[in-house]
Amino acid sequence: MASIRKRNHRWEVRVRRGNNPTKCKSFTKLADAKIWAYQTELELERASAGIAPAPIKLNLFEAKKRYIDSIVSQHKGKDSETYRLDAIINRLGQNRDIKDISPNDIAQYRDTRLKLVSTGTVRRELVVISGLFNTAINEWNLPYLSNPVRGVKMPPDSPKRTRRLNQYEKTLLLSQAKFASPREVYLAILIATETGMRQSEILRLISNVIDFKNRTILIKETKNGEDRTIPISEHLASELGSFFNGTNSGFMLTRSGLQQAFRRLTKRLNIENLRFHDLRHEALSHFFELGLSVPEVQLISGHKTVDQLMRYSHARVTEIRSKLDKAYGSREADYRSSATRKVRVL
């Protein structure tokens, strides 16, 4: 029989069965305490029945392949998730048995990666590997397995980015991309800055989803699962028409190829701290500055909630100041006009 109680900010588990010695262990999380209690009770029950624990023979490479085939392949972000899993498993050791991976292994992996990448990146990687272990425990009939990720402290998420392009950077980026980069790289940058489309949506773009007459793009397989139609400028429609001229069925660029080309371009132009996804931030923030309403921008961006959308609204202080000057300047002019009329009446 297992009992769980909270003591000194930790969950203490005590498992006792028959004449066996009581087993005790404490955990930071209640979920971990419940898992250990269940596994320990099952182990004692099997031992009393004379049943030896079934050996777990599954190395990380096999576990990764099974997880990708059964779970990750159904996710919209399957490419990036698969890429992360491959990298993680390679670092942990493909031939290691899954049951031998300990919280210490995960902690060492975390600390090593934190020296190279951001906390947000490490956090996402740990979430991916944690998903593999949870699936193995819950769906692959491996009751003796525990999730080692739960035994380590997650790094904090990265601060939300607010990077925006100034007009000089935007002009320089587009002009140099047009004349000094592959055409697909230029077109991807132009689409991102004018529409706020995600990188994955751009790379999946094909000619039959573009309505050149009405100047719209139908975006399918979106992040939120719903199709959306966005308007495009006459200039962008012309560039797309030239690209999809009967010989181009779509982009040949890969995700990593586009990111590498973008990094090389910004480095050559001395544009610092700019990522391709920042172009989406720039486009959506610029829509608000143009006077589009929240529902209008939400229709273009595809965000289901206003809270999600407002993370991308980073208005420039200069733009706000100009609007305030215009508003209060107009009000001051009205006051003066009204005062002048009163004086004339008197």
The angle subtended at Cα 43 by Cα 42 and Cα 47, nearest 5°, is 115
Report pLDDT digits (tens) over 322-340: 666 766 665 555 555 665 5
Q: Are residues 71 and 196 in the same domain?
A: no
Query: What is the model's pLDDT at position 206?
Result: 86
- Give the residue-averaged pLDDT of 39-67: 75
Query: What is the model's pLDDT at position 55?
Result: 54
Q: Are residues 65 and 42 in the same domain?
A: no
Residue 122 to residue 114: CA distance in whole angstroms: 7
Q: Find the CATH number of the domain harbouring 187.
A: 1.10.443.10
More confident position, 287 or 57? 287
Q: Are residues 6 and 126 in the same domain?
A: no
Residue 293 domain flag: yes
Q: Are residues 185 and 140 in the same domain?
A: no
Residue 225 domain flag: yes
Q: Are residues 122 and 195 in the same domain?
A: no
Q: Is the pTM of this model over 0.85?
A: no
HSE (side-chain half, CA atoms, 13 Å) at 112? 11
Q: Are residues 196 and 216 in the same domain?
A: yes
Report pLDDT digits (tens) over 100-120: 899 999 999 999 999 998 898
Active site amino acids: 198, 223, 277, 280, 303, 312
Domain hosting residue 110, numbered range: 60-151
Tally of domains in the chain: 3
Q: Are residues 75 and 201 in the same domain?
A: no
Residue 118 domain flag: yes
Q: Using an 8 Å Cβ cutoff, are 323 and 292 in contact? A: no
Residue 322 domain flag: no
Q: Using an 8 Å Cβ cutoff, are 108 and 92 in contact? A: no
Q: Are residues 185 and 294 in the same domain?
A: yes
Q: Are residues 198 and 311 in the same domain?
A: yes
Q: Among 151, 177, 196, which residue terminates a domain?
A: 151
Residue 279 to residue 191: CA distance in whole angstroms: 9
More confident position, 218 or 314? 218
**By percentage, how much of the chain surpasses pLDDT 70?**
84
Report pLDDT digits (tens) over 288-310: 888 888 888 888 887 777 776 77
How many CB atoms within 10 Å of residue 54?
Answer: 11
- Give the residue-averaged pLDDT of 134-154: 85
- Core vs surface per residue 158-186: b (16+ CB within 10 A) or e: eeebeebbeeebbebbbebbeeebeebbb
Residue 338 domain flag: no
Residue 178 to residue 187: CA distance in whole angstroms: 8
Q: Are residues 171 and 280 in the same domain?
A: yes
Residue 161 domain flag: no
Q: Using an 8 Å Cβ cutoff, are 99 and 145 in contact? A: yes
Q: Are residues 287 and 197 in the same domain?
A: yes
Helix (H, G, I), strand (E, B) or coil at 6: strand
Report pLDDT digits (tens) over 225-243: 678 888 999 999 999 988 8
Q: Using an 8 Å Cβ cutoff, are 261 and 286 in contact? A: no
Amino acid 267 reads K
Chain position carrying tokens 């947000």: 120
Q: Are residues 182 and 132 in the same domain?
A: no
Q: Using an 8 Å Cβ cutoff, are 138 and 183 in contact? A: no
Residue 146 domain flag: yes
Q: Is a pLDDT exceeding 90 seen at residue 344?
A: no
Residue 327 domain flag: no
